[in-house]
């Protein structure tokens, strides 16, 4: 049994990590570093709440540290945990710079510790279905891949994501997901052209981005905005043998917020109304049933990694590459030019 310590009990810690860790045999959530001691006592009476990260790092019982603190602290917390001899999972992004990410990767290797990044949206039901359609060859050679993460949030929320600083803004948040999915499918692009701005009145960090990744001749478009009342397709993929369009977004986040858990009858399922549509060249459109999503598969694979030396569910080098693309995108937007990756 792997004893797990969690840093942070905000949205990421309470909604994603704690429930998912507790759903996996072989992992035991034991301690949480947070100021929300009363909330931990209410939600997880069997878990001990700690006030300081040092108390977690010095605990010889803890095997794995999961970092769900604000992005600006990911590097320092991950580094300290690795130096303390712990295996480490970091909520995306791995760090706020590719240089710091590389340092963590080198440190984990030197210490012979597992380092992985919680890129949960690789297990979104919509993305899994797009990946399946491409792998099955239904679209032929892909020439256009477009993924959106559009929401209508005109009010600026309080919290570190909306305050200028390392890791703040929508590109480091939602962009890290969309870029990771693209790199998972197609590898590193040759170049990126980016438009990154703040659109909402009073916004102090970016809340809109439009990236074009060059995989010549393939073009990948990644887009996120916060002032979209009626979103278009979540995924649009065109190849020389067919097209696939998918509306709607995976519901696991909302399900977790409403107390549903992995193993529930409808966990990870999609509404038939939101099934994607495949149109083959010269053929009639047909609906494609959405594959079931499963964020818990990340922690299942991590448990197997710790027990059997299987590879981690997400290689930290993948998340370092995400940061390389983010850094190139920021240069592109600032300098109004295409930037090689």
pLDDT for 255 equals 98
Q: What percent of the chain has pLDDT over 90?
A: 99
Q: Indicate the CATH number for domain 2-118.
A: 3.40.50.720
Specify the DSSP class assigned to residue 58: T
Tell me the mean pLDDT in the region 241-246.
98
- DSSP-assigned beta bridge partners for residue 192: 213, 339
Give pLDDT tens digits for 201-220.
999 999 999 999 999 999 99
Specify the DSSP class assigned to residue 147: E
Residue 31 has pLDDT above 90, yes or no: yes
Query: 61: closest CA among 48, 51, 73, 52?
Result: 48
User: Helices in the chain by DSSP H: which ranges?
Assistant: 18-22, 37-43, 53-57, 74-83, 98-111, 125-135, 170-186, 252-257, 296-308, 316-335
**Cα separation, 118 vs 21, whole angstroms:** 12
Reported as a pLDDT band with limits 50, 70 and 90, residue 65 is very high
**Cα separation, 223 vs 187, whole angstroms:** 18
235 class by beta-carbon count within 10 Å (0-12 exposed, 13-18 middle, 19+ buried) = buried
3-state SS class at 42: helix
**Cα separation, 271 vs 260, whole angstroms:** 16
Strand pairing report for 191-197 and 208-215: antiparallel
Give pLDDT tens digits for 85-111.
999 999 999 999 999 999 999 999 999
Q: How many CB atoms lie within 10 A of CB 24?
A: 21
**Cα separation, 109 vs 78, whole angstroms:** 13
**Cα separation, 30 vs 332, whole angstroms:** 44
- What residues have CB less than 8 Å from 138, skipping those under 6 apart? 241, 242, 244, 278, 280
The structure's pTM equals 0.97
**Cα separation, 221 vs 186, whole angstroms:** 13
Could you tell me the strand order of the sheet in which 48-50 lies? 48-50, 27-33, 2-7, 64-67, 87-91, 115-118
CA atoms within 13 A on the CB side of 327: 17
Helices 98-111 and 316-335 cross at an angle (nearest 10°) of: 170
For the chain, give me the number of helices (H) and strands (E)?
10, 15
Residue 50 has pLDDT above 90, yes or no: yes
**Cα separation, 161 vs 167, whole angstroms:** 8
Q: How many CB atoms lie within 10 A of CB 2?
A: 17
Residue 222 structure tokens? 């990644």
Q: Is 121-297+325-340 assigned to CATH 3.30.360.10?
A: yes
pLDDT for 309 equals 84
Strand extents, DSSP E, 226-298: 235-239, 242-246, 276-280, 286-288
Reported as a pLDDT band with limits 50, 70 and 90, residue 260 is very high
Reported as a pLDDT band with limits 50, 70 and 90, residue 149 is very high
Strand extents, DSSP E, 136-260: 142-150, 191-197, 208-215, 218-225, 235-239, 242-246
pLDDT for 73 equals 97
**Cα separation, 263 vs 174, whole angstroms:** 27
Residue 276 has pLDDT above 90, yes or no: yes
Tell me the mean pLDDT in the region 306-330.
97
pLDDT, averaged across the chain: 97
Give pLDDT tens digits for 167-209.
999 999 999 999 999 999 999 999 999 999 999 999 999 999 9
Query: 95: closest CA among 321, 303, 253?
Result: 321
Tell me the mean pLDDT in the region 219-248.
98
Residue 159 has pLDDT above 90, yes or no: no
Give pLDDT tens digits for 34-49.
999 999 999 999 999 9
Give, in order, the Cα–Cα distances in Å from 190 to each of 118, 186, 323: 25, 11, 15
CATH 3.30.360.10, the chain: domain bounds: 121-297+325-340
pLDDT for 311 equals 96
């Amino acid at each position: 049994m792997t004893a797990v310590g969690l840093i942070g009990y905000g949205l990421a810690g309470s909604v994603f990590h704690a429930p998912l860790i507790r759903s996996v045999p072989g992992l035991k959530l034991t301690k949480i570093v947070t100021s929300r001691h009363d909330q931990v006592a209410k939600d997880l009476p069997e878990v001990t709440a700690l006030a300081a990260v040092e108390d977690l790092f010095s605990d010889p019982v803890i095997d794995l540290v999961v970092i769900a603190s604000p992005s600006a602290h990911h590097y320092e917390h991950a580094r300290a945990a690795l130096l303390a001899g712990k295996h480490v999972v970091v909520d995306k992004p791995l760090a706020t710079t590719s240089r710091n990410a590389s340092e963590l990767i080198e440190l984990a290797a030197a210490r012979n510790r597992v380092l992985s990044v919680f890129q949960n949206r690789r297990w979104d039901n919509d993305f899994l279905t797009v990946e399946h359609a491409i792998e099955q060859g239904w679209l032929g050679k892909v020439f256009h891949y477009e993924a959106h993460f559009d929401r209508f949030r005109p009010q600026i929320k309080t919290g570190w994501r909306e305050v200028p600083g390392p890791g703040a803004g929508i590109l480091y948040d939602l962009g890290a997901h969309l870029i990771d999915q693209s790199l998972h499918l197609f590898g590193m692009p040759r170049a990126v052209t980016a438009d990154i701005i703040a659109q909402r009145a009073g916004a102090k960090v970016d809340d809109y981005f439009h990236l074009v990744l060059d995989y010549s001749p393939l073009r990948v478009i990644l887009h996120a905005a916060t002032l979209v009342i009626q979103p278009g397709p979540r995924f649009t993929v065109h190849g020389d043998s067919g097209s696939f369009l998918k509306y709607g977004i995976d519901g696991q986040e909302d399900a977790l917020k409403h107390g549903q858990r992995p193993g529930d009858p409808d966990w990870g399922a999609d509404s038939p109304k939101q099934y994607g549509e495949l149109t083959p060249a010269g053929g009639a459109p047909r609906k494609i049933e959405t594959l079931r999503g499963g964020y818990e598969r990340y922690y299942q694979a991590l448990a197997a990694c710790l027990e059997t030396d299987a590879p981690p569910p997400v290689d930290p080098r993948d998340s370092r590459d995400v940061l390389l693309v983010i850094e190139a995108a920021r240069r592109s937007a600032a300098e109004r030019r295409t930037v090689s990756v």
